[in-house]
């Protein structure tokens, strides 16, 4: 692997962090010793030191040591329960952004450079103390010249350049790992890293976060129980995001909610209903609804903030999720299993026997369980665990949904321990079932499938032409897989050898018969170099016949 010279120091920092926390064998197997000024013996000694820490703990420590980009990637990875085992997911969820705010002078410089005007021409007031600070940016309260109170999110200096450098290095490492490590190739590490890098780059673009907020606001336009703050695009860029300021009490402050007269049970139900409506009706949902990102306004309305993670579900995926919800509601275990398989992309080389066995166990887990005791988040978590074992590739937004539902269930249960998310989802499930059987919806689904078939039919002549071209130029390759093909070929080879010997023996016998007849007619013994050909030939033919019979009897097959 040809390392980029300008990245050498960062390569070394990453490799040293891996060695320090017990991953020296990875550094060695990937051939990274060339970027370290460390003896090989020191490397092995450091990487093998017992510290009593689990694999998940050591991974978390590596990410924390390597800084904001890796911490954020770890946080994103904690949503991928279809890729990582629970013990690692649990440690990644502990990752926190522990970074101090950057000074006001730098905030001012970034705002003036991004928005192209001096601060006094942008804001009537600007709070110098940030409301919140994280690894990517920090938020300040301000007042526009027009009088609106706003929250201004400013990206940290150079964080974009640092993150892109780290992401480039990670993608290089992933490519190298797939070439050198079998497990990395088996789990398609390059694809996983590329997907996480894409999510990270999207979070670095505040313009995208603003569009996420507007997407959720469109879905909430007809609802009275949720508020999404408006985006002020005149004061927003890819590194600055300005939203309406929302003042309220976070869901993580239940005592204050009680003091202000809010019904915690009703608040929990409202949160669950909002998320379910976003998922199954709007097709876009807030994917990070932790207590600090959901505020309760004085009138009881919920307000969402921080739109860096927003999941999207297309109509087909929402339809499949609806069928899963209906199957859970009706306690239809077979329907649950069907929905699981339809939601995922099953690899062709999966172990179908083991997969079927695990699906049976999953069905038994939800069979005869009271509806109110079921957990929709846990059901999806079980799905991801099954997917991880059988390499079933799940859509990214679906894994994000699983994490979202688990978060919502945790927040709601903290407010109302007796709440059941599936019980609240029952009316929605019945509506989905009714809508699914409605003639208009059935016609819509049939038309969508018919359109897909029509596209296939229209493209058939072109595909046939390409196939003909490949046949004509000899470029068509046909691969046939047959179980135990080596054994079959060996048997065929044995059979062909015996047939060949039989043919040779038959030919030899015919020649000998000809010699015997010629010798009898001419009354002259058949001699070649004074050797009796007939007698020797008969002996050879007899030996060949005995060997052939012995080999046939030895196999036990006639």
The CB density around residue 268, as the number of other CB atoms within 10 Å, is 25
Q: For the chain, what's the residue count?
A: 558
Instruction: Sort residue 219 into left (φ over 0), alpha (ψ -120 to 50) or beta.
Output: alpha
Q: 3-class secondary structure for 70-139?
A: HHHHHHHHCCCCCCCCHHHHHHHCCCCCCCCCCCHHHHHHHHHHHHCCCHHHCEEEECCCCCEECCCEEE
Does the annotation mark 288 as catalytic? yes
Q: Which is the catalytic residue, given 82, 288, 358, 382?
A: 288
Distances from the Cα of 355 to the Cα of 112, 273, 358, angstroms? 58, 34, 5
Distance (Å, rounded) from C-alpha 339 to C-alpha 327? 8
Say whether 425 sits in a helix, a strand or coil: helix
Burial 394-429 (b: 16+ CB within 10 A, else e): bbbbbbbbbbbbbbbbebbeebbeebbbbbbbeebb
* Residue of 100, 36, 91 lying closest to 68 (CA atoms): 100
Say whether 247 sits in a helix, a strand or coil: coil
The DSSP bridge partners found for residue 240 are: 154
Residues 6+ apart with CB under 8 A from 22: 47, 48, 49, 51, 53, 58
Distance (Å, rounded) from C-alpha 235 to C-alpha 550? 93
How many CA atoms lie less than 13 Å away from 258 in the CB half-sphere?
7
How many CA atoms lie less than 13 Å away from 523 in the CB half-sphere?
0
Catalytic residues: 288
């Amino acid at each position: 692997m040809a390392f980029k010279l300008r990245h050498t120091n960062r390569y070394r920092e990453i490799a040293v962090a891996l060695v320090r926390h017990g991953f020296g064998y990875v550094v060695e197997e990937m051939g990274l010793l060339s970027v370290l000024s460390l003896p090989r013996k020191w490397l092995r000694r450091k990487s093998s030191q017992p510290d009593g820490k689990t694999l998940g703990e050591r991974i978390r420590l590596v990410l924390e040591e390597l800084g904001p980009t890796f911490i954020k990637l770890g946080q994103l990875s904690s949503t991928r329960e279809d890729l990582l085992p629970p013990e690692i997911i649990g440690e990644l969820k502990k990752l926190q952004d522990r970074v101090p705010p950057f000074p006001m002078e730098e905030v001012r410089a970034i705002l003036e450079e991004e928005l192209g005007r001096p601060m006094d021409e942008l804001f009537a007031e600007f709070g110098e103390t940030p409301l919140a600070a994280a690894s990517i940016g920090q938020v300040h309260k301000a007042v526009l010249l027009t009088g609106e109170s706003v929250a201004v999110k400013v990206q940290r200096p150079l964080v974009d350049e640092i993150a892109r450098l780290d992401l480039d290095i990670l993608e290089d490492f992933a490519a190298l790992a797939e070439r050198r490590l079998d497990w990395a190739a088996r789990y398609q590490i390059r694809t996983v890293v590329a997907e996480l890098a894409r999510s990270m780059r999207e979070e670095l673009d505040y313009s995208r976060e603003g569009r996420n907020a507007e997407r959720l606001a469109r879905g909430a336009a007809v609802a009275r129980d949720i508020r999404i703050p408006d985006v002020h695009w005149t004061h927003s860029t890819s590194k600055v995001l300005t939203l309406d300021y929302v003042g309220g009490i976070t869901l993580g402050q239940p005592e204050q909610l009680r003091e202000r007269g809010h019904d915690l049970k009703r608040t929990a139900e409202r949160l669950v209903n909002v998320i379910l409506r976003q998922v199954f009706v709007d097709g876009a949902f807030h994917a990070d609804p932790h207590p600090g990102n959901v505020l309760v306004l004085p009138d009881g309305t919920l307000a969402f903030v921080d739109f860096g993670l927003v999941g999207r579900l297309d109509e087909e995926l929402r339809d499949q999720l609806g069928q899963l919800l209906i199957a859970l509601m009706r306690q239809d275990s077979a329907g649950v299993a069907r929905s699981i398989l339809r939601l995922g992309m099953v690899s062709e080389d999966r172990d179908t026997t083991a997969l079927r066995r695990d699906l049976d166990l999953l069905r038994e887990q939800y069979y005869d369980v009271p509806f109110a005791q079921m957990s929709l988040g846990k059901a999806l978590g079980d799905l991801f665990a099954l997917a991880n074992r059988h390499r079933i590739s799940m859509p990214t937004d679906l894994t994000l949904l699983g994490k979202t539902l688990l978060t919502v269930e945790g927040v709601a249960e903290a407010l109302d321990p007796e709440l059941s998310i599936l019980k609240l989802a029952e009316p929605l499930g019945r509506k989905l079932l009714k809508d699914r059987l409605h003639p208009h919806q059935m016609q819509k689904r049939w038309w969508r499938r018919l359109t897909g078939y029509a596209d296939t039919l229209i493209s058939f002549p072109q595909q046939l032409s390409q196939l003909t071209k490949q046949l004509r130029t000899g470029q068509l390759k046909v691969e046939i897989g047959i179980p135990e093909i080596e054994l079959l070929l060996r048997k065929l080879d044995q059979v062909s050898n015996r047939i060949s010997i039989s043919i040779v023996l038959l030919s030899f016998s015919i020649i000998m018969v000809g010699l015997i007849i010629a010798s009898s007619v001419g009354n002259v013994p058949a001699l070649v170099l004074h050797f009796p050909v007939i007698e020797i030939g008969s002996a050879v033919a007899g030996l060949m016949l005995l060997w052939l019979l012995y080999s046939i009897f030895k196999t036990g097959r006639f």
